[in-house]
A = this chain, B = another copy of it.
Amino acid sequence: MDATPLTTPEEAWRIAKSLNYRHIGGTVVAVVQDVETGEVLMVGHMDPVAVVLTLTTGLAHYYSTSRKRIWLKGETSGHYQIVKEFRTDCDGDAVILKVVQIGAACHTGARSCFSSPASFKIRLNRDA
> Is the beta-carbon distance between B89 and A116 smaller than 8 angstroms?
yes
Q: A89-B116, A90-B110, A96-B40 are in contact. Are A122 and B29 (CB under 8 A)?
A: no
Cβ–Cβ < 8 Å partners of A38 in chain B = 33, 37-39
A76 at the B interface (CB under 8 A): no
Contact partner, A24, options B1, B22, B83, Cβ 8 Å? B22
Instruction: List residues of A (79-128) whose CB comes within 8 Å of B's CBs.
Output: 82-92, 94, 96, 106-108, 110, 113-114, 116-126, 128
Query: Which B residue sits closest to A11, measured CB to CB?
Result: B122
Contact partner, A90, options B31, B65, B119, B122, Cβ 8 Å? B119
Q: A24-B23, A43-B31, A96-B114 are in contact. Are A124 and B55 (CB under 8 A)?
A: yes
Q: Which of A2, A23, A110, A117 has the most CB of B within 10 A?
A: A23
